[in-house]
Amino acid sequence: MARNKTILYSLILAFSIVAPFVFPNFGTQLATLWLMIIVALTWDMTGGQMGYNSLGNIFFYGTGMYVAAVIAIGLVYDVGDYTNAAGGGIYKFTDLEYFGGMALGILGAGLFCSVCAIVIGSLTFGLRGPYFAIGTLGVAIATGELVSNWDWVGGGQGIALPVYPGDLDTGKIYFYFLFAAIGISVFIFVKWLYGTRFGAAINAIRDDEEKADAMGIHTLRYKLYTWAMAAFFVGMAGGVSAFQLIHFEPLESAYQTINLGIFMVVCVLLGGKGTLWGPVVGAILFHLFKEVTWNYLLGWQWVALGALIVVTVVYFQDGVMGWLMHKRPQWFGIRIEEKIAGEAE
């Protein structure tokens, strides 16, 4: 069993490494797939494992974009002047400035988003269930609207970052591996985390927060730490996105509440909430569905997507992993049913 798992993991890892070289035409789509996996896995940390369904995780993505961009530009030039000149083309970045700014920007974005998560979380974690969802959605929408009125970061026009200095194809592969690296770290991290005492504690919060509190778990602290960890990864992914997209603006690409903000939730529900592999499987299925409809159902793709959301939520809420767990419990090491059947005989 353990050997099988090692082989499976190595196969997946090997495939992720060769994928951009085997399918060079799909470089950007594959990078986006990793982004979906990252946001789905991190959404599941609070949504699936802790029972707090946030609709506002997109806030960290957008904020990550802006923080990374502001840091990368701010290290070399004055941000206000830079955004004022939007597309003037007089601002040049050397390779060192570009890559140094990117590294610091992405890291800074992650850290800043963690701090944001702690601040926002300490205000909103008193809200439960749907109120938490609406409250966090409100935070994301409000921030998007405020940023689009903030001229220092380019207002509604957004920011245009410098282009990757190498040639276009290397750039695509470079960003693919940045996303893949973050994605793999997230997966390893959550896999480890769910096995620890911490994972047990956040599961206890999901199952019954009052009892968990009564058992001596400092629930607010656990909730804040979990969200901060999720925010760290989403913020970094946002930072990478900012450099990959080159130009982004607040409402459609950074704080895209109804696109990525809702997609991540659908990915998790499609794959199976509260499971390790669910978000990954869901993200892959969802991304495939999205790319296919975007290519073959032009005009109707959003209707198809809305229908997918409704159908997933209403008819198929356990997701792929939940369905498998029900059909093939032995794959997950669950043997309860067999034992009960044996005793009955």
Q: DSSP character for 327? A: H
Amino acid at 126: G
Q: Is 308 in the site for another protein (CB under 8 A)?
A: yes
Q: Is 307 in the site for another protein (CB under 8 A)?
A: yes
Q: Is 122 in the site for another protein (CB under 8 A)?
A: no
Residues 235-264 that bind another protein (CB under 8 A): 258, 262
Distance separating alpha carbons of residues 57 and 260, to the nearest angstrom: 9
- Least separation, in Å, of the C-beta of 139 and another protein? 7
Residues 166-195 that bind another protein (CB under 8 A): none
Q: What is the dihedral of CA 35, 158, 146, 52, to 10 degrees?
A: 0
**Pick from 129, 276, 89: nearest CA to 195:** 276
Distance separating alpha carbons of residues 309 and 265, to the nearest angstrom: 9
Per rule CB under 8 A, count of chain residues that contact another protein:
40
Q: Is 119 in the site for another protein (CB under 8 A)?
A: no
Q: Is 113 in the site for another protein (CB under 8 A)?
A: no
Does residue 270 contact residue 286 with C-beta atoms inside 8 Å? yes
Q: Is 9 in the site for another protein (CB under 8 A)?
A: no
Residues 283-302 that bind another protein (CB under 8 A): 299-300, 302
Residue closer to another protein, measured from CB, 36 or 186 = 36
Q: Is 91 in the site for another protein (CB under 8 A)?
A: no
Q: Is 18 in the site for another protein (CB under 8 A)?
A: no
Distance separating alpha carbons of residues 181 and 246, to the nearest angstrom: 20
- Least separation, in Å, of the C-beta of 124 and another protein? 8
Q: Is 97 in the site for another protein (CB under 8 A)?
A: no
Q: Is 117 in the site for another protein (CB under 8 A)?
A: no
Q: Is 126 in the site for another protein (CB under 8 A)?
A: yes
**Pick from 287, 286, 284: nearest CA to 311:** 286
CA 242 to chain centre: 14
DSSP secondary structure, 278-302, as one string: HHHHHHHHHHHHHHHHHHHSTTTHH
Amino acid at 307: A
Interface ranges with another protein (CB under 8 A):
53, 55, 123-124, 126-131, 133-135, 138-139, 141-142, 145-146, 148-149, 258, 262, 265-266, 269, 299-300, 302-303, 305-310, 313-315, 317
